[in-house]
Amino acid sequence: MNQILLAVVGTIFLAIFAIAFGLILSGIDRRIVARMQARVGPPLLQPFTDVQKLLAKQSIIPANAIPCLFNTMPIVALASAITILLYLPFGSFAPVLGEFGDVILILYLLTIPSLALIIGGFASGSPYATIGAQREMVSMIAYELPLTIAVIAIVWRLMIAGIHEPFSILTLMQNPVWSVVGPLGIIALFILLVMMAWVLPGELSKIPFDSPEAETELAGGILVEYSGRNLGLFMLSQAVKMVAISTFGIILLLPWNLSQFFGISGIIAWITDTIIFALKVLFVMTVSVTIIRTTMARFRITQIVGLYWLVLGGLGAIAMILMMVDAFFCEMI
């Protein structure tokens, strides 16, 4: 009973934290973009105002829509994004459901918000949303390849190094892959770092990977028929997903906490590691989302597939080969 109560309380806390943190990140992102474009930009808390106004408005259901799916998918998207957080650690805080999931489960869960968006787009009955949903499907299939390669390469290297339970999230946090590789492995990890930096904006459908929405082409695309509370829920799910995918990338490639280096414990360790975690998420978001979307134009859907499957897929294959060679030489030594 106590474990169930703790899980419920932890879920509520994580949901509130992730929504607030994700909206703040969105506000920071918009401010930085504005400054880079020599504009003043909106207030930092503008995303909170936008979501508040949307949640207070009525959702309009199109005449050609399938109402049950159209109204359910925003809830599924938000709930699935929050569910991902239950398996991820934040700073020194262990995951709420860390004993019941691993990186494979997280890879599956990361697809659910996108699937909910796709189903909602098809259910709206709009031709613009249908095209946007088709593009979202293609994009999702494309960026899953480099993401999966990165996860497999890291987990495989930990397994070869003799690390117990390499698929466990806690194992990835406690045994950074950087500490078990040689020079070639370090080069491979830098390649994987670059790959993950390009996967993040694809996961979030940010420029240059926003072809599913493409306002100038599809009038909003996949979300063209959404309004009011439903649109607000989709905005919240994107904010939470931004925190989730950034955290997942940090766990894979930037897992260190300051308390591990300085031997800090107790409340001070929790506070310090939480601050460092927030700064790492902010850094990842700024580099992978803000700078890229400010300096680049929208890709065509064929360019998105080509980048993820050919360019990043090829880099992933090179990283895997370097990992294998590195493991061979490390065993020889």
Tens digits of residue pLDDT in 182-211: 889 899 999 999 999 999 988 888 888 887
Say what the pLDDT of residue 333 is.
63
Is pLDDT of 312 > 90?
yes
Place of tokens 């009525």: 58
Name the pLDDT band for 72 (thresholds 50, 70, 90): very high
| 194 to 79, 157, 236: CA distances (angstroms) | 29, 18, 27
Q: The domain containing residue 241 runs over which residues?
A: 2-332
Structure tokens at 89: 């650690």
Please, which contacts does 183-188 make with residues 24 or more away whose CB atoms are closer than 8 Å? 183/326, 184/322, 184/323, 184/325, 184/326, 184/329, 185/157, 185/322, 185/323, 185/326, 185/327, 185/330, 187/322, 188/153, 188/318, 188/319, 188/320, 188/322, 188/323, 188/326
pLDDT tens per residue across span 102-115: 888 898 899 999 99
pLDDT tens per residue across span 243-255: 999 999 898 888 8
| Residue 262 burial class via C-beta count within 10 angstroms: exposed 0-12, middle 13-18, buried 19 and up | exposed
pLDDT tens per residue across span 12-42: 888 898 899 999 999 999 999 898 888 888 8
pLDDT tens per residue across span 77-94: 999 999 998 888 887 777
pLDDT average, residue stretch 154-178: 87
In contact, 107 and 245? CB cutoff 8 Å: no
Beta-sheet strands, E only, within the chain? none
Is pLDDT of 225 > 90?
no
Is pLDDT of 318 > 90?
yes
Phi, psi for residue 39 in degrees, rounded to 5: -115, 165
Mean pLDDT over each residue of the chain, to the nearest integer:
86
Say what the pLDDT of residue 52 is.
92
Instruction: Report the domain count for the chain.
Output: 1
Rounded Cα distance between 314 and 119, Å, is 31
Say what the pLDDT of residue 133 is.
87
Of residues 260 and 285, more confidently modeled? 285
